[in-house]
Chain A
Amino acid sequence: MTSPTSAPAPRPDRWTAALRLYGGAVFLFIYAPLAVVILYAFHTESIIAWPLRLGTLRWFTVLADDRGMLLAAWASVKLALLAVLITLVVGIPGAFVLDRAEFPGKAAFRQLVMLPLILPGIITGVALLSYVSLLHLSLSSGFPIVPGWPVVIAHGAALTSVVVTQVFARLQRVDRALEDASADLYADEWRTFRYVTLPTIRTAVLGAALLVFTLSLDEIAVTFFLIGRQNTLPLQIWGLLRRGITPEVNAAATLIFALSLVIIVWWSSLTRDPTASTP
């Protein structure tokens, strides 16, 4: 380490080295626990204990045969898709009115829509639970077509902010002159929207949809209070964790990790869209 380098290297000094070492350690702190979870998915014993014995895919087949887990996964996917649908239908017009309309209560609307994102999830959860129970709405209503209307509405309500903020941020960067030009060329409003506005916000909309999908799939705090008789995937796993655990949970976690990775790579390729300057 103290060996004198003959070439005039660009400041390979002790501070930079220490900083790199520290940064590497933080990376390790972030990733090692995830690696542990994944490695134990291939553990040959059924008790998760040291030492790790790698070498089986048994837990993935156990998972594939676990009816409770599969039903929960299916419920989660349905819930997430419905959440995407609701948040897009409500959030896109929401972003537009924030960007280009003035109306009384606009500031309040902007603050309110953000609340579920900044408040602890449990507060939104118990507020919605109280509301649903005051309205005498059954938590299982709509089951088995949906996991329950209350939880669908709750996810829609909690995640609308994601679409609003993402699409709003894009609209702020859109050059309004383009739309004016389109109007000058006698395009009607629908055509201007279809051929000018929509293409500019398309990637933001898709990115927001992916984000809502992932967040909905992972949501626990709000879901816990509003779920009917059909568990979502995180709640099912949480239930397993509070009882005995086998590497089956790790197998599920590994698949979730892989799925998240695919979605984020997709998402980041969207946000690196050349029309969008990096935030």
Chain B
Amino acid sequence: MLDKNPRDRELLKKLYFEMLRIRRVEEKLTEWCNSGLIKAPVHLSIGQEAVAVGVMAALKPQDKIVSTHRCHGHYLAKGGDLKKMMAEILGKATGCCKGKGGTMHLFDDSAGHVISAPLVGASISFAVGLALSFKMKGEDKIAVTFFGDGAVEEGIFWESINFASVHRLPVLFVCENNLYATHSHILKRQPSENIAERVKPHGVNICRIDDANNILRVVEVATSMVDLVRKNQPCFIEACTYRLKEHWGVGEDWHLGYRSREEGEKWMAKCPFKQLQKVFDEEDIPQSEIVEMEKIIKKEINEAVEFAVKSPQLEVKNGQRPSQADYL
């Protein structure tokens, strides 16, 4: 196990690398937004990387995930193609959705990321359907759905939990509780901050991770939960984390007044990178390893940027209003 000696140093490095890759990609998107290159509402996962990477570390390549509007981290952690992601966000035909889906519908079937969808709660049900299909076909796969704390206010979340429980489906529900649905605090919307305790009576296994920025804890919980899911015991993980940027967009939003900088600073102190760095120090993993990771990631991002920017624009004939056929 990760919290015991000897730790798996290669896994530790991989976890750091994957989180760093998501962070650096989203920083590149931030540059693009600030320069006006992106004409779309991007939803950054900066601050929440440990959940995506930690859960994905417990999965097998054949397992499938679905995600939401805040999908960049899940896409990358599952192994989604970076070039196709960057091209999609720029609305190019070389994007994963050929420019038709955009930042909120990222998917990469070859990596097992089936679809993302922004309408809150909707994609939860897709994972249940995937799991139903796996079970009917007798395939050794599980389905994982990522969603936020706001999604549990949608009826479809409870419909999904109920059905998965009744039919004993191989599905893992991962609720990223970042306390806010857009700008509304969870206690304005729900009777307590603890979602897992309200899910428990539905007959699924639950676990609440109070600090899901501690990636080793996420890996530990996800690994044990995934084992149960593979035995057709649906599980629910509540991963408490914190979004550091705006709901959509790339800036900070402390000035809006719906949350305090002090609250944010408490979570910044639990930074997933700092927490893992501490483990690196204990394990005598040298800083040069991180320097090397930065180099590899920078190279990959530069290549993806070049690919996306140089990809041709979708054509509109003669600058006229496109015909219906042009939209297809």
Whether both chains belong to one complex is answered with no
Q: Interface on A for B, CB 8 Å cutoff?
A: none
